[in-house]
Structure 1
Amino acid sequence: MNGIEALPPLRVATAEQLTWDDQAELLVVGFGGAGACAAIEAASRGLSVLALERFAGGGATAISGGVVYAGGGTPYQQQAGYSDGSEAMFRYLRQEVGEAVSAATLRDFCERSCEQLAWLERQGVTFEASVPPHKTSYPTDQYYLYYSGNEAVPAYAEQAPPAPRGHRAKGPGMSGASLFAPLKAAALSRGVRLHSQCEVRRLVLNERDEVLGVEAWQLPAGSRAARWHGRLARWATAIHMYAPALADSLRVRLRRIEQVHAERRLIRAERGVLLSAGGFIFNRALVRQHAPHYLAGLPLGTTGCDGSGIRLGQSAGAALARMDKVSAWRFINPPLAWARGLIVNGAGQRYCNEEVYGATLGHAMVEEQGGRAILILNKALVREALRQVGPGKVWQFQRLPVLINLLFNAKRATSPAALAERCGLPAVQLEQSLAAYNRAARGEVADAFGKSSAMLASLEQGPWYALDLSFDSRLFPCPAITLGGLKVCERSGQVLNDSGAPITGLYSAGRNAVGIASNLYVSGLSLADCVYSGRRAGAHVATHTSLETA
């Protein structure tokens, strides 16, 4: 699925040359997590805000797990009995964030973390201090605070004292809806206007390359076309993870409705336009251009994650960065038993600590091992895994892949050599990998990859099983999201051009832009960055003078 290209900007000498259909001081293009936070911040500072949303609003935020990465001693960490500080948070995140943002920006993010969480609570988002007993990719409805990254993995804990920082919004099921709903309500209560089913197709610039507004196309409210568009959008999102090809066919119909029935509107931005339309994982042409080795992954997000906001920025001369950064999510816990096995590549060599966060494993799998990941278990771990995914113990989306892969994707053998033959692996190398792993499990040597002793399991007793969990697996699709986007000023959120200068009147936030989460993914970091970058842009627009209108 490839979003349409952004049109070249509409260029005019002055804003007064055009007859505008609407106007606001801040136009927000894409009303998801980042857009909502920017709108609230700007409106709370007295600005008029109009949000333009191609669908109903919420974006990837609303279908996410609703996890906000926060630390430094939040009330929930304290209630759960965990000590944390902004320095420990900074030292851990520096290992994940790398050079995506400056050390000063990351430190500011960490130092303001408690305040950001309190700000979300003032908007109506609720959190809780309940912590699950074991590491998991996503906790059940009993738990709302958890280790959402690699904090407790020994190699990371050596650099920074670990603490759970994944603050999941309180609510049933996947908590993204419970996070976004109060943000939307808070924005509307502050006077933010929302035009849904309204797609921005190009920017309006003056002769000095300042952004004056947008050309948008909106479906007539209440029309039959709008109703069908809404249904198709909901259906495409609901079925995408299970039937991506069918979802893509629905998106083609969505685009046809927009092209035939949408009506043109010119909308003036008196102070600025914020691009917060998400990433580009659904734009396969962009993925092929910037990160082709991630094409085999299952795009994760919503139909709006098609790079449209990035293309709009490019049309105004914006620079791109970190477009090759894509996060592949190869989670093997739950069940915990799977993480106690060992992962090998196509040469039968072990290459990682299996207890690491799923995106860390996915990065190693795609970037370093040609996409190969073969999980080796024995009968005892298989039985343990089945017990751990029993009814009521994990989410259905966690249980089904385990059962499907144990039933239809498991090769069994009575010796490691026979297992290697069945999998097309070098027998000697697989036997050596197993032998080294077993020595560490018995406590004879330290594990070569630093795995915790509690997560090691001796695999001396067979029979043995191999599950091919490689990136291109059809029975265990690997979700992927993009992390790069428009380059922005880290103090203001203003979009930068190729010379590093800000484009007047243009801002970006969330996954539309490069930010805190644009290196290695950690659960909750992207949503936390949406809050941080959205509020940053909203505040900067409010504290600077309006664009010239003559």
Structure 2
Amino acid sequence: MQVHTGSDRWDGEADVVVVGFGAAGASAAIEASDRGAQVLVVERFDGGGATAISGGIYYAGGGTAQQKEAGFDHDTPATMFDYLKLETSGVVSDELLDDFCERSVENLQWLERLGVPFEGSMAPRKTSYPTNDYYLYYSGNELALPYKDVAEPAPRGHRTKGRGTSGKVFFSAMEKAARKRRIDVRRQTTVTSLITDDAGTVIGIECREVDPGATARRALHRLLGSWNRKMNLYYRPIGRLMDGPIRRIEREHSVVRRYRARKGVILAAGGFAFNREMLKEHAPRYLGGTALGTIGDDGSGIRLGQSVGGATDRMERVSAWRFFNPPIAMTEGILVNKEGERICNELYYGAKIGEHIAEQTDVAAYLVVDSRVLADVKRQVPEQTLWFQRLQTTYLFSTGHKKGATAEELARRTGIDPAGLARTLERYNADRRDGRPDAMGKDSAHVTPLVDGPFYAFDCSIRVQAGFPCPVLTLGGLVVDEVTGAVTGEDGRPIPGLYAAGRNAVGICSQSYVSGLSIADCVYSGRRAGAVVARNSTVA
């Protein structure tokens, strides 16, 4: 990505120019606007990014109204800090993490003022995503060891109130709020380079906008972009067919635009899950997963920052979502690798499970259950799942499993070491029978001997399975100053005029992810950057 120095002409200007219109970009734009800045947002498609196709989960705690409504009045910012300190493993300073937790209630209230709806109806059981009857749940590992010994558990997964996957409801409210503020959003526009002055200060952007005069091409680009996003989520091979036509329209039917940023540019263009080359370079063990987001999550925002000397970190960190709960009875199985060894607590949040799977030989893992567990699972499906989860269970119960009359036969059919699986089952069953704690710390309520044949194995490896997707989300990005959100170089010095937020930047969830933490970080880091840039003096 070439850096242009100076400019003889500008097609427009604003105090703050934001690249990307997802949760981070919208938060930055709204915050800057509310502080009196004129804001221009540049977005490759129609907006929303990964947020709009997500479950709409927002991680918040420390005493939210929804927690109190559900009867959880013990959560404090300090308790939330203790839990997240274990999850984040030092990816940010204690000071930043403390600030994130202290501001959690206020940031949730800010979203509510924008029109994002939340509710305190508490899910009755541990789940990866609650049904439409519940909008508050344990969205991380709060109930599992060692986390529950470090911090008193509290539900912090605040699901946006809306049927199905409610990310669309979440972002629609933010989009409406931006519209009310007369924030200028230039859609179907791809940023190609940053513009700097002779001193190296970022003073604007160069981009290509699908030609407004080419009405038919512009309409086709919008339609293909919408279809592509949906197909990428459910069946990437079909989505891939649209990649070429989308890029061809952008290349052959677009016009160059240059926009001046009087106070600063904020990069908020998502991660790089759709960039196979970057994944291969930084996180090859996750190549088999299903990229989460849009094809705009191609690392372009990160590479823009690098083009002017921005440093990166945690680029190897990727969240792989291997969810097999709900139904909750699935957690009574054992998750083993090819050697037949158990790899983690099956009650962990799906991203933590995915992290453990990524460490295994061939990133392979299998959930082994017996006929009794499978019968319980099937009985729980109607009550505990939404439509997209039922699609998954339908696949798993029909063609997405291996079966064996005995555990040994199952192992041979699956490619698991039979002796290793036999040892694991023997210990698992004996510990429960003899009243010993589970070796992986699983709650005893979900540990029952697996003895009733036939036995079944569900392939939980990080690889594409049409009926059992394993979404992946990249977590690393540009290094930023923790106080301002300014992009910094290898020497630690801020690059004048350039800021980053969300998955373009290293943040709260760049080491470990739990549901809702990325969107919460997008809001936190987006508001931080928007506020700082709005206060800046004119840089050009």
The count of residues paired between Structure 1 and Structure 2 equals 537
Match of 1:3 in 2: none
CA contact (8 A) 1:440 1:456 kept: no
Aligned pair 1:132/2:126, yes or no? Answer: no
CA contact (8 A) 2:337 2:360 kept: no
Determine which of 6, 11, 16 is the counterpart of 2:5: 11
Residue 457 of structure 1: how far off its partner (Å): 1.7
Match of 1:59 in 2: 49
CA distance in 1, matches of 2:235, 2:459: 21
Residue 473 of structure 1: how far off its partner (Å): 5.2
CA distance in 2, matches of 1:59, 1:360: 24
Aligned pair 1:283/2:275, yes or no? Answer: yes
Residue 353 of structure 1: how far off its partner (Å): 0.7
Match of 2:253 in 1: 261
Match of 2:302 in 1: 310
Aligned pair 1:361/2:350, yes or no? Answer: no
Match of 1:21 in 2: 11
CA contact (8 A) 1:321 1:487 kept: yes
Match of 1:322 in 2: 314
Match of 1:426 in 2: 417
Describe the SS at the equivalent of 2:363. coil
CA distance in 2, matches of 1:243, 1:68: 26
Greater Cα shift, 188-197 or 160-169: 188-197
TM-score (norm: length of structure 2)? 0.97
Match of 2:343 in 1: 351
Q: Deviations over 1:44-94 (max 9, x none)?
A: 010000101110111111111111100001111011001201111001111
Give unmatched runs, 5+ long, in structure 1: 1-6
CA distance in 1, matches of 2:127, 2:307: 42
CA distance in 2, matches of 1:291, 1:79: 41
CA contact (8 A) 1:213 1:273 kept: yes
* 1:364-375 alignment runs, 5 A limit: 364-375=356-367
Residue 191 of structure 1: how far off its partner (Å): 2.3
Describe the SS at the equivalent of 1:241. helix
Determine which of 73, 77, 93 is the counterpart of 2:67: 77
The one-letter code of the counterpart of 2:32 is A
CA distance in 1, matches of 2:9, 2:368: 66
Determine which of 215, 220, 223 is the counterpart of 1:228: 220
Match of 2:187 in 1: 196
Aligned pair 1:157/2:148, yes or no? Answer: yes
CA distance in 1, matches of 2:100, 2:508: 8
Describe the SS at the equivalent of 2:248. helix
Residue 175 of structure 1: how far off its partner (Å): 1.1
CA distance in 2, matches of 1:340, 1:176: 30
* 1:147-546 alignment runs, 5 A limit: 147-221=138-212, 223-390=215-382, 393-472=384-463, 474=465, 475-546=467-538
Residue 119 of structure 1: how far off its partner (Å): 0.8
Greater Cα shift, 514-523 or 167-176: 167-176
Give unmatched runs, 5+ long, in structure 2: none
Match of 1:32 in 2: 22
CA contact (8 A) 2:268 2:504 kept: yes
Greater Cα shift, 426-435 or 44-53: 426-435
Describe the SS at the equivalent of 1:398. helix
CA distance in 2, matches of 1:173, 1:330: 19
Q: Deviations over 1:524-545 (max 9, x none)?
A: 0000001100000011012221
Distance 1:418 1:172, change over 3 A: closer
CA distance in 1, matches of 2:420, 2:486: 52
Q: Deviations over 1:316-341 (max 9, x none)?
A: 11111110000111111012121110
Describe the SS at the equivalent of 1:389. helix
TM-score (norm: length of structure 1)? 0.96
CA distance in 1, matches of 2:263, 2:101: 29
CA distance in 2, matches of 1:86, 1:369: 39
Describe the SS at the equivalent of 1:240. helix
- Note the aligned Cα RMSD (angstroms): 1.3
Residue 369 of structure 1: how far off its partner (Å): 4.5
CA distance in 2, matches of 1:423, 1:198: 48
Distance 1:338 1:512, change over 3 A: same
CA contact (8 A) 1:334 1:398 kept: yes
Describe the SS at the equivalent of 1:266. strand
Match of 1:121 in 2: 112
Residue 256 of structure 1: how far off its partner (Å): 0.1
CA contact (8 A) 2:479 2:487 kept: yes
The one-letter code of the counterpart of 1:530 is C
Residue 124 of structure 1: how far off its partner (Å): 1.1
CA contact (8 A) 1:48 1:191 kept: no
The one-letter code of the counterpart of 1:268 is R
Residue 43 of structure 1: how far off its partner (Å): 0.5
CA distance in 2, matches of 1:466, 1:29: 45
Distance 1:424 1:62, change over 3 A: closer
CA distance in 2, matches of 1:225, 1:253: 10
